[in-house]
Amino acid sequence: MGIDGQAQRFGALALAILAGSWLSGRDGGAGRAQPAPIAPPSFATAPAKNGAVIVSLRASSAAATIHYTVDGSSPSASSQIYEAPLLVARNLTVKAVAVAAGTASDVAAQAFSPNIPPGTLVWSDEFDNDSRSKARPNPRIWTYDTGHSGFGNDELEHYCAWGSSAPPCDASRPNAYVGNDGNLHIVAERPAKGVYTSARMKSEGLFSVQYGRVEVRARVPEAQGFWPAYWLLGGDIGAVGWPSCGELDVLERVNAATEPDWNEGSVHGPGFTGTSLGTKYSFPHGQTAAGWHTYGMIWSKDEIAYYVDDPAKPYATYRTASLVGLKGARWPFDDGQGAFLILNLAVGGNWPGSPGGATRFPAQMLVDYVRVYSH
């Protein structure tokens, strides 16, 4: 190749380099490795009862967070975070995106049209046990709070999970089990003077519900220092904290039976904690909470109603209008998130006080079933 040919080759190479530099400036770095697009979440469904389904969402990357809506709006990074499988028993569309490093995936959507009539049983745990031994509560539904933190109420008990063996818990004497009588047993024990154990079961991360009639059939111990409860917390508690997540108390009472005996239904949220939205139900003469009763909540948009034994006769109804006059109050129950279930028997605390000399151990809270009906 002569000098002229070398010059032509050099000139062509220089032009290519300059063109590449110009193009790089135009596209912000063409040729560099670009992040792979984020895949949208995938859906999975499992049958519940009578046409209802339990919907699960999954991201393809562990680094992605799923955000979703159920009201037809397009999801974004500011939408509700997916925390647990959600019971779907009404006609709706679930839309979801996966978000990682500030980038959102395309929207994944799935419509559900179960067309279930109101009052239909759509989910339950009947606490069946055909064996002769104490059985573990269904681990696909129930997990546990554990330890001796006081749980914000200065409670005295150590909460023990199924299989807990670290003292004072004793795996051979579970504080929560399904008996062959078809009941869930939540047992408060006093293994030593001033030491108490019990159980607090929850469906957090495993199962959630939004709207419907949520009911438990139970009988509770009544004595100084006992605090049995069935309640729900918003599944977004890990992201927004309490009380912003919302709390719904369906069964709650303390201490010994009175005449008339009672149960309290209440709602708590930002700007309305304590007893500002709580109502006591008085049992008919001769009845106590130590007998079998159904305790229920009817949850619909803008409204929460509580009943004992008869869903047609709510004893307390709370609405968004109930917050009028409460400074800083905000209704969190229609934000789109599901709520998880909690069953527990606390010992001591700010409300009941400590057990007294007449308080007998072991004591049991018995649960026949937990059910959800369409509404």
Q: What pLDDT shows up at residue 11?
A: 44
Inter-CA distances, 213 with 19, 47, 51, 80, 85, Å: 68, 19, 16, 23, 18
Establish whether domains 42-112 and 121-373 are of one fold. no
Q: What pLDDT shows up at residue 236?
A: 95
Instruction: Enter the pTM of the model.
Output: 0.90
Q: Could you give the residue numbers annotated as active site?
A: 247, 252
Contact yes or no for 230/218 (Cβ under 8 A): yes
Buried b (16+ CB within 10 A) or exposed e, 171-198: eeebbbbbbeeebbbbbbbbeeeeebbb
Over the chain (375 residues), the average pLDDT of each successive run of 10 is 44 41 44 73 98 97 95 94 97 97 95 97 97 96 97 97 97 97 98 97 98 98 98 96 97 98 98 91 98 98 98 98 94 95 98 97 98 97
341: nearest Cα among 55, 197, 157, 145: 145
304: nearest Cα among 355, 231, 358: 231
Q: What pLDDT shows up at residue 37?
A: 84
Q: Quick one: CATH architecture of 121-373?
A: Sandwich (2.60)
Domain extent listing, the chain: 42-112, 121-373
Tokens representing 34? 């670009």
Contact yes or no for 214/294 (Cβ under 8 A): no
Contact yes or no for 200/144 (Cβ under 8 A): yes
Residue 207 burial class via C-beta count within 10 angstroms: exposed 0-12, middle 13-18, buried 19 and up: buried
For residues 92 and 90, what is the distance between their CA atoms, to the nearest angstrom?
6
Q: What pLDDT shows up at residue 192?
A: 97
Contact yes or no for 302/319 (Cβ under 8 A): yes
Q: Give the CATH number of domain 42-112.
A: 2.60.40
For residues 160 and 144, what is the distance between their CA atoms, to the nearest angstrom?
8
Residue 26 burial class via C-beta count within 10 angstroms: exposed 0-12, middle 13-18, buried 19 and up: exposed
Inter-CA distances, 309 with 13, 92, 164, 243, 319, Å: 87, 30, 35, 28, 22
Q: What pLDDT shows up at residue 35?
A: 63
